[in-house]
Structure 1
Amino acid sequence: MNILTVDTGNKKLDEAYKRMQVHICTYDKVDEFMNYFNSITKDAKEDELLKWLLKVLFWEFKYGRTNQKHDFDILLERVSSDDKAKLEKWLKEKLEKVSDKNV
Structure 2
Amino acid sequence: MNILTVNTGNEKLDEAYKRMQIHICTYDKVDEFMNYFRTITKDKKEDELLKWLLKVLFWEFKYGRVDKKHDFDLLLEKVGTAKKEQLEKWLKDNLEKVENV
TM-score by length of 2: 0.73
When the two chains are superposed, the root-mean-square deviation of aligned CA atoms in Å is 2.5
Q: Counterpart of 2:14?
A: 14
- Identify unmatched segments of 5+ residues in structure 2: 77-83
Letter in 2 for 1:50: L
Q: Which segment is superposed worse, 42-51 or 65-74? A: 65-74
Larger radius of gyration: 2
Q: Which runs of 4+ in 1 moved over 2 A?
A: 71-75, 83-90
Q: Percent identity?
A: 74
Report the more deviating stretch, 53-62 or 63-72.
63-72
Give the paired residue count.
Answer: 88
- Show CA shifts across 1:43-90 (max 9, x none): 211111111101000111111111112144676xx87xxx58645424
- Segments of 5+ residues of structure 1 without an aligned counterpart are 98-103
TM, length-normalised to structure 1: 0.72
